[in-house]
Chains A and B, each alone.
Chain A
Amino acid sequence: MKVLMTTWEFPPNKIGGIASHCEDLSKALARRGHELHVLTYGDKRDTTRPFEEYEITVHHVPVGYAPDTISWSMALGRAMEKKAIELQKEEKFELVHAHDWMTVPAAVGIKKTTKLPIVFTLHSTEDGRSGIHDKYTKMINDLEWYGTYEATEIITVGKDFSDEVKRLFSPPDEKLHYIPNGVDITRFENPKFFVDRKNYLGDWEKLVLFVGRLSHQKGVNFLIDAMPKVLEQHPDSKFIFTGSGALDYYRGLVNGKGLAHKAYFTGFLDEKLLPSMYQAADLVVAPSIYEPFGIVALEANAARTPVVGSYTGGLKETIVHEWSGLHHYNANPKSIADQINRSLDDESWRHWMGDNGRKRVEKDFTWTKIANWTSGVYGKAIGLW
């Protein structure tokens, strides 16, 4: 099938998680025999080039100045639509696959002019990310609704998240599909780049790792509040925070507790180093208060590392309690500390959970499997069944 995928970011441009998702998904779809064209934002020039050795063509469209992100998405939409009309004369796409609200204006514009059906993947919602509290956030919420309304099929990345989408936008049940994210396990097999544990902690210390944007949504403050109780029982533990975001703010919180020597903030870490970072960790913590999917848990498991994470959203599915990791109560520092302590208490249990997690990722969360499900949704979108 000939598919036109619209995403505001695609490698080498990577800012959020959508770039990686679109990269892995389009590779897997291409392997399955689909012909993928990716339409994405490009800095200054209008360029078209093949993507690595895969059967994927990437079209970059430039966008000029815009006063805010919503208006920018409108300009991006117009640029993408014009490109799509031009491409459609030669390529004859069968559907357009849009990711998140940023390319909703593009996808709908393409649908109205070329009559292609839309498959719309929602990765998160504005309501979950920041709440709807003014005209601006309401407009983003409206665009998300507009996407679900105009789409022929909707894909959500989590089961709980499907319910959230249903509650917010009331799409017909038969349009809504749950397809989890996948993990490229080959990245974790023989990483070419390594982090050196010695750079971060003493060899007597245990590495408790947080990976993600340093923000309220990711629950970083609850983890910091849990630190004293963990250190009381496990003075040999050390907390590494990997990711960009409000670095100074969280560093300040740690310093305020007098625990600066027990925490290290790496800032943004090159993606090539991440697999080895996960492998170096004794335990990964994902204390998010809102998480549609929770890829961190699966990435940790792919590196055979167990996870302590919130019982919320996608983490409910990506962690199996006491089997591939441990759940703690959402936004609850005492519960976070208890579960970290439980797992630090028992090394062999940790290894067992890590191995279980790895097997589960290999079985249930491979991109091949996800590409198969996605193909099914494509088939439904163009009326094959």
Chain B
Amino acid sequence: MKRALILSREFNPGDFISDYSKDIAIHLASSGMEVHIISFGERDEELKLSDRVTVHKVHFMLHADNFFNWVMLMNNELKRKGRELFEKVGFDGVYANDWTTAPAAISLSQLENVPLCVTIHSTERERGFNMPHSSMIADMEYDLATKTTKVFVESQRTLDSLVTDYKIPKEKIELIPREGQWQERIAQACGSVME
């Protein structure tokens, strides 16, 4: 059985990226894969969404002086759990969401030599590029988009930004808007990358 690891900044009902990750996980599972999701949580815990989908929440206790630095350090816990699960169950690929899980996603795929997929929900350029860490975030988005086999985006705007602002080759990017059978399309594309 194929196995996929999904990284999500958080996993809480109502949160946009959590719902997105959950939908993809369920569809990957129904296509016959075993899926593990790692996310930050208020405490370390393990939830079983179904026979084939497990959520691992990891806690990180430092608050940090800003969101960027917190993300960088929190990712260490994603790496730790990821490494542990790689040893326990092994994965055929890693799936990341946005720059907030990029450090762990890139390190784990580099460490284990497995392909990487990512959904970039929006780019820092689109969000205005007006924060102290914008340039560092954009660097990370570039790094992430370069290291992955496939980049999924939800809108034409994000696709254009990646192509023009980040110079990511168009062939690598797949536009899948959240309508119709979008989860199936992503699950299918992901599945073929992790073959």
6 contacts between A and B (CB under 8 A): A67-B132, A74-B69, A77-B72, A112-B76, A112-B77, A139-B69
Verify A108–B136 contact, CB threshold 8 A: no
In the complex, whether B22 has a CB less than 8 A from a CB of chain A is no
Q: Specify the chain B residue showing the minimal Cβ separation from A138.
A: B65
Name, among B79, B83, B132, B135, the residue most crowded by chain A CB atoms within 10 Å (CB to CB): B79
Residue from B69, B103, B106 in contact with A70 in the complex, judged by beta carbons closer than 8 Å:
B69
Verify A86–B110 contact, CB threshold 8 A: yes
A139 to B62, CA, bound (A): 9
Verify B106–A82 contact, CB threshold 8 A: yes
Verify B79–A113 contact, CB threshold 8 A: yes
Verify A146–B62 contact, CB threshold 8 A: yes
CB neighbours (8 Å) of B30 from chain A are none
CB neighbours (8 Å) of B64 from chain A are 139, 142
Chain A 50-64: CB-based contact to B (< 8 A → 1; otherwise 0)? 000000000000001
A103 to B139, CA, bound (A): 20
Q: How far is the CB of A168 from chain B (nearest CB, A)?
A: 15
CB neighbours (8 Å) of A366 from chain B are none
Verify B135–A65 contact, CB threshold 8 A: yes
Name, among B65, B79, B132, the residue most crowded by chain A CB atoms within 10 Å (CB to CB): B65
In the complex, whether A194 has a CB less than 8 A from a CB of chain B is no
A249 to B79, CA, bound (A): 48
B interface with A by C-beta (< 8 Å): 62-66, 68-69, 72-73, 75-77, 79-80, 83, 103, 106-108, 110-111, 132-133, 135-136, 139
Residue from A68, A113, A138 in contact with B83 in the complex, judged by beta carbons closer than 8 Å:
A113
Verify A112–B135 contact, CB threshold 8 A: no
CB neighbours (8 Å) of A75 from chain B are 136, 139
- Decide yes or no: A82 and B107 within 8 Å by CB, A71-B68, A142-B62 being known contacts: yes
For chain A, residues 67 to 126, give those with C-beta under 8 angstroms from any C-beta of chain B.
67-68, 70-71, 74-75, 77-78, 81-82, 85-86, 105, 108-109, 112-115
A85 to B66, CA, bound (A): 27
CB neighbours (8 Å) of A45 from chain B are none
Q: State how many residues of chain A have any CB contact under 8 Å with chain B.
A: 28
Residue from B72, B106, B135 in contact with A74 in the complex, judged by beta carbons closer than 8 Å:
B72
Q: How far is the CB of A78 from chain B (nearest CB, A)?
A: 6
- Decide yes or no: A112 and B79 within 8 Å by CB, A64-B136, A82-B106 being known contacts: yes
Q: Specify the chain A residue showing the minimal Cβ separation from B68.
A: A71
A254 to B136, CA, bound (A): 44
Q: Specify the chain B residue showing the minimal Cβ separation from A78.
A: B103
Q: Specify the chain B residue showing the minimal Cβ separation from A142.
A: B62
Q: Specify the chain B residue showing the minimal Cβ separation from A146.
A: B62
Verify A85–B111 contact, CB threshold 8 A: yes
A138 to B110, CA, bound (A): 33
Name, among B62, B72, B132, B139, the residue most crowded by chain A CB atoms within 10 Å (CB to CB): B72
Verify B133–A113 contact, CB threshold 8 A: no
Q: How far is the CB of B67 from chain A (nearest CB, A)?
A: 11
A115 to B80, CA, bound (A): 9
Verify B108–A105 contact, CB threshold 8 A: no
A114 to B80, CA, bound (A): 9
In the complex, whether A66 has a CB less than 8 A from a CB of chain B is yes
A75 to B102, CA, bound (A): 13
In the complex, whether A193 has a CB less than 8 A from a CB of chain B is no
CB neighbours (8 Å) of B83 from chain A are 112-113, 115
Question: Can you name 20 extra interface pairs (CB under 8 A) apart from A67-B136, A135-B65, A138-B65?
Answer: A64-B135, A64-B139, A66-B136, A67-B133, A70-B65, A70-B69, A71-B136, A74-B72, A75-B136, A81-B107, A82-B106, A85-B107, A85-B110, A105-B73, A108-B73, A109-B79, A109-B107, A112-B76, A114-B111, A136-B65
Q: How far is the CB of B36 from chain A (nearest CB, A)?
A: 17
CB neighbours (8 Å) of B65 from chain A are 70, 135-136, 138-139
